[in-house]
Amino acid sequence: MGEVTINGLIEGGKATTGPPFGPALGPLGVNIGKIVAEINQKTADFEGIKVPVKVVVNTDTKAYTIEVGLPPTSALILKELGIQKGAKGKDEKVGNITLDQIKKIAKTKSAALYGKSEKERIKQIIGTCKSMGVTVEGMDAKDALKKLESGELKI
């Protein structure tokens, strides 16, 4: 039969033997509990955030691999701030993030961001903050970007 791929979006550390993985893995004859436990271990750092997970099963050997994707940048910002949603209107501000928190997010997402340097990746995160109504170091995200470019804001 070959390989079967099952994709799902689960909250970090909270996969169960129910949907999306249990019903799809059952007919393949693999140990569902073992796979779910491994998914939970690999996604534990993303507790409270939905994470894309891909399970690839070789139906002949019953061997499997689990690939955990990265949550969206906006979800990581919300988690850092401990809030549920970004701003509803363009003038609404929902929180303030520090440069250290932005660096942490940039490090987590480094493989998925387009920037070649840390500064470029940080600028991408600040851009997301701007669209979410999040201030950076107490200033508007647009101003933070300008100060980062001019060197007033040190990374």
Domain range annotation of the chain: 3-68, 73-150
**What pLDDT score was predicted for residue 125?**
95
pTM for this entry: 0.73
Of 103, 98, 148, which is closest to residue 121 (Cα–Cα)?
103
- pLDDT at residue 91, as a whole number: 83
pLDDT in tens, the chain (155 residues): 589 999 999 998 999 999 889 899 989 989 999 999 999 999 998 888 888 999 999 989 999 999 999 888 999 999 899 888 888 888 889 999 999 999 999 998 888 888 888 899 999 999 999 999 999 999 999 999 999 998 888 87
Q: Which fold has domain 3-68?
A: Ribosomal protein L11, N-terminal domain (3.30.1550)
Print burial letters for 28-46: b (CB count within 10 Å at least 16), e (below 16): bebebeebbeebbebbeeb
Q: What pLDDT is recorded for position 43?
A: 92
| The domain defined by 73-150 carries CATH number 3.20.20.70 | no
Residue with tokens 């440069």: 99
